Each structure stands twice: as C-alpha cells, then as structure tokens.
Amino acid sequence: MSSLEKNSFIKSIQFYVPSLILLFSVFNEFDLNYLNIEYFSFNFVYILIFYWTLKNPLHLSYGIIFLSGLVNDVVIGIPIGLSSFCYLLICTVTAYLRNITLSPNFINDWITLLFTLLLVNSVEVIFLDLIFSIHVDYTKFFVNTGFTFLFYPIFLIIFNNFEKKIRIRKND
C-alpha cells in the first residue's frame, strides 16, 4: 500500500517536473556568463516552453507560464508583463502548429522555432527600445536567437527521453 502511495507521489512529482524546471530557471536565470565568452548566450526558457507546449501541453499550464514571465521580469529588471507576453506568444505559435500538424516533423518544428524566436525577440526589442527607451544590444539578441536555435536538438533529445519515461509510467 505504502509503495503504491509512494509510486503515485513520484508520478505526480514527475508530472510537474517541466513546471518546476521552468520556475527554477526563471528564479535562477542560469546563463553561464561567468565563463567570459563574449558572444555566447541562449534562452533555455524559450526552448523549454516551446518543447513542452508543442509536445505535451498537459505538463506546462499557461497560468504557470504567465506567472514565470512575471517572475522573470522582476529578476531581470525589465518592465513587468513583457516576458509573460513573449512566453505566451511562443505558446500561441505552438498551439497553432499543433492544430495544423497531423504528423509531427523535427525539421518543421525546428524551423518554426527559428521563426518564433525571431518574432519573440523582435517583440521584446520593440517594447524595450521603442516603448520603454531601454537600450539593448541587437547583436546579443541575434547571438541569443542563434544559440537557442542551435541548442534545441540537444534539449529535444533530453526532453524526449524524459517525456517517454513519464508516458511509460502513466500507462503502467
């Protein structure tokens, strides 16, 4: 009986792992900037939201995404609501992609990610630079977009493996 309870507890924890990783990422703002690589940065949160809202939106609710956006704004120090808007834009693209796709294809997803990143970063630049008059480095945005795009397949493999684990346990 107790092993069954323990098992269901682990299952429920596993179910919320993507949400927990998202919250931890926005609180921590893990960025590897201390490695002193001048033109290197990637946005792990974008990859996380894109993957889970595309593949399995049950694990990452829009409410949590909205809340993490608010937290991210406070942690980074940009106008409140901006990250939430950007994260939800990613969700919009993935929801649309899910609706029009019958058989998922990695290349399609990857190219859509590039389009999404360009869209989201453009929206962010427009808000920061033109509306709030906060100067931003355009080169860094491009570098960030590039590395986030390039790192997607690596995280895709990791998340795919994890997703399989959750799915198998759910069917047990």
Task: Annotate 7-38 with DSSP letters as a single string.
Answer: HHHHHHHHHTHHHHHHHHHHHH----GGG--T
Under the binding rule (CB under 8 A), the answer on residue 37 touching other proteins is no
Taking the complex as a whole, the smallest distance from the CB of residue 1 to other proteins amounts, in Å, to 28
Task: Give the number of other CB atoms < 10 A from CB of residue 63.
Answer: 9
Of 81, 154, 157, 164, the residue at the interface with other proteins (CB under 8 A) is 81
Binding residue for other proteins, selected from 1, 5, 38, 102, defined by CB under 8 A = 38
User: Least distance in Å: CB of 151 to other proteins?
Assistant: 15
> By rule CB under 8 A, what string of x and - marks binding of each residue 132-171 to other proteins?
x-xxxx--xx-xx---------------------------
Q: Are 163 and 17 in contact (CB under 8 A)?
A: no
How open is the CA angle 107-120-103, to the nearest 5 degrees?
25
Of 103-132, binders to other proteins (CB under 8 A) are 124, 127-128, 131-132
